[in-house]
Structure 1
Amino acid sequence: MSKIAQQSIQTTIFSYIGVLLGYINVLWLYPYALDATELGTFRTIQDLGLLFVPFAQLGVGHGITRFFPKLEQNQSAFLSYSLALSLLGFGAVTLIFFGFKSQIMGLFATNSPEVLNFLGVVLLITLFALLSSVMDAYSRSYLKIAIPTFFREVFLRLLTSVLVGVYLLGWINFDEVMLGLVVVYGMALLGVLAYLIWLGKVHIDFNWKNFPPGFRSSFIRFSLITFLATAASTLIMKIDSIMVSSMVSLEANAIYSIAFYMALVVELPRRAISQVAMPVIADHFAKDQIGEINKLYRQISNRQLYICLFLFALIWSNIDSIYHFVPNREIYQAGKYVVFFIALGKIFDVAFSVNSEILVFSKYYRFNLVLTIAMSILIIGVNYWLIPIYGIEGAAIGSASVMLAFNLIKYGYLKIKLQLDPFSYETLKILFVGVMIFALKDFYLDEVHPMLMAGIKSILIVGMFFFWSMIANVGQDEWNWIKSKLKKSGS
């Protein structure tokens, strides 16, 4: 776990700085500077652009991670080859987009017509995010995760803050804000490229004939098979927001987006750990080290579940205090239970560990393709059923339900095919600690300012978390790491 731990710590730091910026943006700056319709448009256009990325990428990101260990040279040629394939994919997506433009416009014409003014921005966001994702995968293969994470999680949000701040000052209009998003994503792309050039990992090399025999055909075949799984997985994450805009309104999507972002904090440790774990899993499969994969599978599950339950308890116990500081909270606090159900879905995901990553890099990767496509179809059907009944909460319930079903099937498949299991007696102890700290969610003091109330609750939760962790003897690695850092800072 040494490589994973080292990079994960750095990545987590940047991720949480990004979260801090994100909280300032989503919970204060955006609701303050933009009205609910503008905010809904702002989020919907970005979600649409990012939704198209995996379709354009053609699975190249996972292909890079899987096939990079097979190369001892020609890595720069591999990058240029991967970028060329992705640009072909982008060309195909663009043709399909314009071919079905009238149908796409029809989805938003009734409830969210403002989206129609910025469909060109969608494709440009897709292009820049696509190229960034390919270079992220290339950097990840060198186990260089932290700096690309900085550009994706911190730099991108910081520039977006500046963009909306300039709008708040009245220096630009809303149309120019939307065009500015293209510049923001373009600058983040240039940052990752500059980092790779600085590392000496990028050279102009189009000599694609010197790859090992059969390398290109195997790479393309694997990428094309896995791209549908990746695309469907992104569809699962993004479709609820887009369907809320289409079926309800842009204002409803603004409420949903703010709630979704609050819940997203719960899964940040998973995002940091899984990014670094992917090349390690690929390497273990290359060496047929199934025992090491199972060990990693279980370690990551326990670590993620332990940390993420704590974050879930902190957020849900303080949810009213958090909404108190959101501008126009009388509008946005309608998303309170969206936070709960989305966060619950994230807990399901982290508990089942890196099952998707294991499937992608195993010989059973086709199963992941079939399952993910089936789940994406299911979530669309579930949303069409639940959104008209429960509104934005229906979208959140649908997401959590599909996430649980998705992970249960993958768990059973890996258990049967590879005898892998992320759960143990340690899992039960972690769940026990989580249940005990959730007992504080209803603790409340009358006539106490929400900020003070949040501070009191948070201190009580941390204390209870530490107490029950000691009683159950879980999380020793995490607490020892915190103690060591406190000792260093105090010396």
Structure 2
Amino acid sequence: MGIVIRQSFWGSVFAYMGVAIGYLNTLYLRPKYLDPEQIGLLNIVVNNALLMAPFVCLGMPATLVRYYPHVEKNEVKRKEFLSNQIYLIFFANIAAALLLFLFIDEIKSIFETKSAMYNEYIFLSLIILASQSFFIQFQSYSRVVLDVLVPTILKDIYLRISYALIICLYAIDLIDFAGCVRGLVALYVSATVLETIHVLVNQKFRMTMFSWISMKKWIGETWNYSIYNLAASAGNSIYTNISFLLITTLIGLESNGIFTTCFYIGIIIELPNRAVLMITAPVVSREFKNKNYTEIENLYQRSSLTLGSIGFLFLIGIVCNIEDLFLVIPNGKVFSQGLYVVMAISFAKVFDMLFGLNGNILAYSEHYRVNVYFLLLSVAVLCILNLTLLPTIGINGAGIAFLVSTILFNLLKHYYIVRHLKISLFTKNHIWLLLIGFGTMLLFYFVSIWESPVLNIMGKSALISVFYGMLIYKFNISRDTNSFVKSILKKYLNIKI
């Protein structure tokens, strides 16, 4: 767990630095200088690319994580394996571009009624699609060598700082809105270039020449798992991004802009989860290879308590400060239409963190196929609820749909893991965590310290952090968290507790 905790910690530190920048973008710069329709357009240009990225990745990133332990000690096989995956992604991008050109009129007709402005920029989504497919693949290579910091910095800090600069350039009239969109595309391309350089220089990755014989061999050995992961990653992408697409087509870009802003307030909670899942994936894969189920169960329980403790802290902060937060945001009255979106997404993400390793455990076990079945069922529920609720209650319906489908997806996976792998998650500390979390939320929800919303947010957040943190430490909810706090205090402040 040592390297997992260290990498996860620093990954989370950089991720939350990115959050601070992202919140500057999401809660100040974009609402102040862009109208909701423009925010919705920028979002859908990116999200449509992210929605399609798994289809052109062909399941290669997860296949790399799964099979890397089998080739890591053989340099020739390792280079062939990685190179063939990149060639396949390249060919898939060519196919995607051809399909877009062939069916461009039909695709544009989908957006014509509610979001016609997007049709002017639809080809820019294709450029982001290509760059992201390679970024995801190289990011997976960084994961298997337990080096997630550079891709985390690029994704969570570099993109957000650069995005803020683009909005500032627009605010002072150095570029027009079309320049904003093109600049956003350039950012994603440059992030991929930088990650590629990192892999080539720091991790000394080298491509081999294309060989159909070698390609055919590796496709034959990994085909079934790759197809499974194509379905899994596509399902995950649909699960994450379909709400934006449905809101854009059914309601319009303005509603998508409001939903986007509120959605990203809620997903701050999941950032530690991302870091832990990235770094634990190869660990879980190796433990399954060694049939070490005891260690997998230990990792499952400890990560749940650690992530759950962090997730509840941010959930409490969001729930107890949400009304003041909308008073601080420029044009907050407009964006407050999505208050229940924030609530629903926040609760969904905490639920995800409590069951954090569900997906990795199923994905790297012999039962990996069932993960896709559960995912597709949850995606179906998400789409049906969106189609039902969006026309009647608007964007808050999308929040409800996301919460319900998230709970369903996690419960299905957990039930299967307990029943078929005999790996349990819950301990008595989970009960204490829930009592402390919901008790703290109830205690501080009605507390108001100052009339100023900014001071009130700062004051309540400080009190919540101290009160909640002391209880989590006192009851030793997470051994890893307590050990980490002790080591930091001893190392930097020479305090022993």
Matches within 5 A, 1:48-197: 48-71=48-71, 72=73, 73-74=75-76, 75-197=78-200
The residue aligned with 1:376 is 379
Partner of 1:323: 326
CA drift of 1:104 comes to 2.5
Shift of 1:260: 0.6
Residue 435 of structure 1: how far off its partner (Å): 1.2
2:444–2:464 Cα contact (<8 Å) kept: no
* Equivalent of 1:251 in 254, 257, 265: 254
| C-alpha distance in 2 between matches for 1:172 and 1:450 | 33
Distance 1:207 1:98 in 2: 27
Residue matched to 2:287: 284
* Displacement of 1:211: 6.9
Cross-structure match for 1:393? 396
Give the Cα–Cα distance (whole angstroms) in 2 for the partners of residues 31 and 399 of structure 1: 24
Change in Cα spacing, 1:254 to 1:212, as seen in structure 2 (3 Å) is: closer
Alignment check: 8 A CA contact 2:56 2:96 kept: yes
User: Structure 1 residue 419 and structure 2 residue 417: aligned?
Assistant: no
* Alpha-carbon offset, residue 43 of structure 1: 0.8
- How far 1:266 sits from its partner (Å)? 0.8
1:199 counterpart residue number: 202
Question: Residues of 2 paired with 1:471 and 1:479: CA distance?
Answer: 9
Q: Distance in 2 between matches of 1:12 and 1:453?
A: 26
Counterpart AA for 1:418: L
- Find the counterpart in structure 1 of residue 13 from structure 2: 13
Asked if 2 retains the 8 angstrom alpha-carbon contact of 1:52 and 1:93, the reply is no
1:209-224 pair list within 5 angstroms = 215-224=218-227
User: How big is the shift at 1:446?
Assistant: 7.3
TM-score (norm 2): 0.94
Q: Tell me, what secondary structure is at the counterpart of 1:50?
A: helix
- Poorly superposed stretches of 4+, deviation over 6 Å: 209-213
Q: 2:353 is matched by which residue type in structure 1?
A: V
Specify every segment of 5 or more residues in structure 1 that has no aligned partner in the other structure, as ranges: none
Tell me which residue corresponds to 1:448. Answer: 451
Asked if 1:346 corresponds to 2:349, the answer is: yes
Deviation (angstroms), 1:120: 0.3
TM-score by length of 1: 0.95
The one of 265, 274, 277 aligned to 1:274: 277
**Which SS does the other structure have where 2:208 is aligned?**
coil
1:268-321, Cα deviation, whole Å (9 max, x unpaired): 111110100000011111111122111111111111111101111011111122
Partners of 1:269 and 1:254 in 2: how far apart? 25
* CA-CA distance at 1:57 after TM superposition: 0.5
Cα deviation for residue 207 of structure 1 reads 6.3
Offset of residue 324 of structure 1: 2.1
Structure 1 residue 480 displacement after superposition: 4.3
1:206-226 deviation digits (Å, cap 9, x = unpaired): 265897996442223311221
How many pairs are equivalent?
491
Question: Which residue, 260, 264, 270 being the options, matches 1:261?
Answer: 264
Can you give the 5+ residue segments of structure 2 that lack an aligned partner in the other structure? none
Closer/same/farther in 2, CA of residues 467 and 202 from structure 1, 3 Å limit: closer
The percent of aligned pairs where both chains have the same amino acid is 27
1:296-307 equivalence runs, <5 A? 296-307=299-310
Q: Once superposed, what is the RMSD of the aligned Cα atoms?
A: 2.0
| Closer/same/farther in 2, CA of residues 123 and 85 from structure 1, 3 Å limit | same
**Per the alignment, do residues 467 and 13 of structure 1 end up closer, same or farther by CA in structure 2, a change over 3 Å counting?**
closer
1:433 touches 1:472 (CA, 8 Å); kept in 2?
no
Structure 2 residue matching 1:318: 3-state secondary structure: helix
**Cα pair 1:78 1:208 within 8 Å, conserved:** no
Q: How far apart, in 1, do the equivalents of 2:56 and 2:212 lie? A: 24
Aligned-residue offset at 1:431: 0.8
Q: 1:122 to 1:285 in 2, by over 3 A?
A: same
After superposition, give the CA deviation of every residue in 1:91-149 in whole Å (9 maximum; x if it has no partner).
33333333443333232211111111110001000000111000000111101111111
The residue number in structure 2 matching 1:235 is 238
Aligned to 1:458: 461
Per the alignment, residue 31 of structure 2 pairs with: 31
**Matching residue's letter, 1:29:** L
Contact 1:4 1:277 in 2 (8 A): yes
Give me the whole-angstrom Cα distance separating, in 2, the residues matched to 1:334 and 1:227. Answer: 36
Residues 100 and 413 of structure 1, relative CA distance in 2, 3 Å threshold: farther
Secondary structure at the aligned position of 2:359 is classed as: helix
Cα deviation for residue 156 of structure 1 reads 1.2
1:403 to 383, 403, 406: 406
Give per-residue Cα distances to partners, 1:209-253, cap 9 Å, x unaligned: 897996442223311221111111110111112211111121111
Q: Are the aligned partners of 1:436 and 1:468 in contact in 2 as well (CA < 8 Å)? A: no
Aligned with 2:54: secondary structure?
helix
Distance 2:222 2:55 in 1: 17
What amino acid is aligned across from residue 306 of structure 2 in structure 1? Answer: R
Cross-structure match for 2:314: 311
